[in-house]
């Protein structure tokens, strides 16, 4: 084996080793690397109970209710299979509106998600791909066809 | 042997120094034209977005910067691998010359993203997978540059930093796919996506021109910087003394 070939193999081994280690680490972290839970995950109890987490979904049409004279706002997040009612007091981002994908940070209290931060999620279709995917799956499941 | 003579000739420092110098205008002029056209098309001609208004126009800087951040790292890691395997000093010089360029554009991508994120998302910064992996990319550049400067001996600096560049290259696909693999606040790719770009041509064409212009800009900057690297490495060489005294 020539020295050059040995160095080539060393470089390949470094890349393979680091790649494998990273793949295993990412696999181990799995969902912990995801930024938010969708309403179905919340409904099935996958979201941490008693701790704060993020929930992401679409703001249901007609669900936004503001309390006059304050910054308090109530709305319902949906992935078209399950819903999460949200209550929030504070300023909302520019992109917040009904039908828009948003991500709220907070905790569940008696079935209501009390948010301390609301972020708008923007994407090329103005629907979070995760929500769109979840919607599609749920709709397909509801009509009895598998996608 | 015949097919490799051009390669060995290119790898000789005096020849490379001259070629790199001649190439600068061939990269810099297209870069200036493409970036000017792309920015004019994007900032003036392209229609506003129906939800974001004019705020979306920051993509004409943000996306090309982020693209260069990844391109520079890939170039740096490839050059470092070539330098390690074939012991070509010029490859190490290219890697060293590329790092600060990549770091600058990664920083620009983070800064422009942050400026856009505040009004649109409602936050300057958040620890989602895309933003975090992009920050790690910046730190990898910083680590690479810091490690190089920790050695007095250039050969040792080359080899040690090349290993770091190789180890860090695993982050490049993570940055790109972070928005696909995990739920993130950052949106998915607009240009490179299944089903084609999610933009009308009036918005897309200026973006592509700008990105191509930034790529030429990298090439021009790399030529300038790699010549500097060659000067440092060859400071005692006779060809350089002849060149200096000849002028």
* ipTM of the complex, rounded to two decimals: 0.74
Assess whether A89 and A128 both reside in one domain. yes
Q: By the 8 A CB rule, do B184 and B13 touch?
A: no
Name the pTM for this structure. Answer: 0.86
Task: Write out the two tokens for A22.
Answer: 């990273």
**Residues in Cβ contact with A93 at an 8 Å cutoff, skipping those fewer than 6 apart:** A118, A119, A120, B119, B120, B121, B122
Range of the domain at A6: 1-33
The CB density around residue B27, as the number of other CB atoms within 10 Å, is 19
Which has the higher per-residue pLDDT, A31 or B222? Answer: B222
- Residues A53-89 pLDDT 10s: 999 999 999 889 898 888 899 999 999 999 999 999 9
- CA B76 to CA B65: how far, in whole Å? 16
Mutate to test the interface with B, among A19, A27, A122, A136 (most CBs of B within 10 A): A122
Assess whether A131 and A102 both reside in one domain. yes
A83-89 vs A101-109, strand pairing mode: unpaired
- Residues B127-156 pLDDT 10s: 989 999 999 999 999 999 999 999 999 999
**Residues in Cβ contact with B219 at an 8 Å cutoff, skipping those fewer than 6 apart:** B23, B27, B31
* CATH classification at residue A115: 2.40.50.140
- Residues A82-137 pLDDT 10s: 999 999 998 888 888 888 889 999 999 888 999 999 999 876 543 333 444 565 67
Assess whether A52 and A82 both reside in one domain. yes
Res. A35: pLDDT tops 50:
yes
Count of positions (residues) in chain B: 247
Residue where the block lists tokens 């000739």: B9
**Residues in Cβ contact with A2 at an 8 Å cutoff, skipping those fewer than 6 apart:** none
What is the pLDDT of chain A when averaged over all its residues? 82
Assess whether A90 and A110 both reside in one domain. yes
- C-alpha dist (Å) from residue A5 to A14, A23, B84, B217: 14, 27, 11, 35
Assess whether A14 and A77 both reside in one domain. no
Assess whether A41 and A24 both reside in one domain. no
Interface of B with A in 154-173 (CB under 8 A): 163, 166-167, 169-170
Assess whether A19 and A44 both reside in one domain. no
Q: By the 8 A CB rule, do B45 and B202 touch?
A: yes
- Residues B155-213 pLDDT 10s: 999 999 999 999 999 999 999 999 888 888 898 888 877 777 777 788 889 999 999 99
**A101: helix, coil or strand?**
strand
- Say how many CA atoms lie within 13 Å of B209 toward its Cβ: 20
Assess whether A58 and A121 both reside in one domain. yes
- CA A131 to CA A126: how far, in whole Å? 11
Secondary structure E strands in chain B: none
Mutate to test the interface with A, among B182, B188, B194, B199 (most CBs of A within 10 A): B182
């Amino acid at each position: 084996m020539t020295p050059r070939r040995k160095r080539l193999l060393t470089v390949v081994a470094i890349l393979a080793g680091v790649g494998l280690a990273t793949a295993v680490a990412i696999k181990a972290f799995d969902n912990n690397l995801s930024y938010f839970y969708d309403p179905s995950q919340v409904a099935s109890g996958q979201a941490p109970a008693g701790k704060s987490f993020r929930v992401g979904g679409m703001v249901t049409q007609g669900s936004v209710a503001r309390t006059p004279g304050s910054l308090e706002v109530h709305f319902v997040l949906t992935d078209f299979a399950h819903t999460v009612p949200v209550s929030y007091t504070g300023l909302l981002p520019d992109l917040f509106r009904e039908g828009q994908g948003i991500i709220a940070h907070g905790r569940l209290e008696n079935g209501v998600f009390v948010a301390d931060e609301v972020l708008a999620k923007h994407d090329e279709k103005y629907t979070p791909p995760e929500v769109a995917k979840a919607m599609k799956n749920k709709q397909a499941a509801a009509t009895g066809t598998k996608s | 042997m015949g097919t490799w003579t051009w390669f060995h000739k290119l790898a000789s420092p005096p020849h490379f120094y001259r070629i790199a110098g001649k190439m600068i205008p061939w990269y810099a002029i297209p870069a200036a034209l493409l970036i000017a056209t792309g920015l004019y098309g994007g900032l003036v001609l392209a229609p506003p977005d129906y939800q974001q208004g004019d705020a979306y126009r920051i993509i004409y800087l943000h996306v090309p910067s982020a693209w260069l951040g990844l391109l520079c790292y890939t170039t740096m890691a490839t050059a470092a691998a070539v330098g390690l395997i074939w012991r070509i000093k010029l490859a190490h010089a290219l890697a060293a010359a590329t790092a600060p360029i990549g770091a600058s554009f990664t920083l620009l991508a983070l800064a422009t993203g942050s400026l856009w994120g505040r009004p649109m998302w409602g936050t300057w910064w958040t620890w989602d997978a895309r933003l975090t992996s992009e920050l790690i990319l910046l730190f990898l550049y910083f680590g690479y540059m810091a490690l190089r400067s920790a050695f007095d001996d250039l050969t040792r600096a080359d080899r040690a930093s090349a290993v770091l560049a190789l180890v860090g290259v695993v982050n490049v696909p993570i940055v790109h796919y972070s928005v696909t693999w995990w739920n993130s606040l950052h949106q998915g790719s607009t240009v490179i996506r299944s089903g084609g770009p999610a933009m009308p041509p009036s918005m897309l064409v200026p973006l592509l021109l700008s990105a191509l212009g930034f790529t030429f800009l990298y090439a021009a900057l790399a030529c300038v910087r790699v010549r500097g690297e060659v000067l440092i490495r060859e400071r005692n060489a006779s060809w350089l003394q002849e060149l200096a005294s000849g002028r």
